[in-house]
Amino acid sequence: MLDGNFRKSVETVTLPTGRWLVRIGFSADVLTFSGLVFSFATAWMIALGHFWIAIVLLTLTGFHDLFDGPVAKASKRASQRGAFFDSVMDRVTDSLILGGVAYYLTAHGHGQLVLLPFAILTTTYLISYQRSKAESLGLAAKGGLMERAERMILLGVGLLAKPIFIPVLWIMLALTAMTAAGRFWRIWQIAASADPPMTQAGRIHHHSSRIRRGLSRTSRR
């Protein structure tokens, strides 16, 4: 949601800051990697139950994630390699932080609730995969109620006080699941309107092509 609706207004602040960071010697890859380090520290503080320290570290993690793109643009070194590195590190960051949440729940005797952060993580991966697959097919897939920025903000709210931590996790799971379902439906509708029904001749050609590819693979074994 924030990514889709407020990116232009946010960039009026982040782009000048990105140029300043480049002038003092930062690169996008350095910010991405240091953000990973801060996410590990965030996860560790959550695991130990030091929530206020975790909020500070989570904010710093978000700062790195917010500015690595503007730094890449300002340095004129934006690349597919950098985008790939950033995307993979985002997934690692999500795994670390929710792993810290799982450890905290286990250490404090919450039993089966340890599955809650893993359910959130699985659903967030589904959201990411839907966007990745849709964009590989040339379909628009941005937007949604609970994207990565919103998840980090909501987690920060949950870290404000231990009594609300688990209820906030349930809210995060519900909103993330709604986002995944909404994105699936939106992409399904776009794909249906963009992809004309295959004719009978087309189906025969598609089927025969699959058979030829299968025979070709068999002959190479």
Instruction: List the catalytic residues.
Output: 90
Token output for 116: 């809650």
CA distance 122 to 154: 17
Cβ neighbours for 151, distance < 8 A, ≥ 6 positions apart = 94, 120, 124, 172, 176
Query: Which run of H or of E encompasses 94?
Result: helix 80-107
Tell me how far CA of residue 119 lies from CA of 7, 42, 172, 177, in angstroms.
Answer: 28, 20, 10, 9
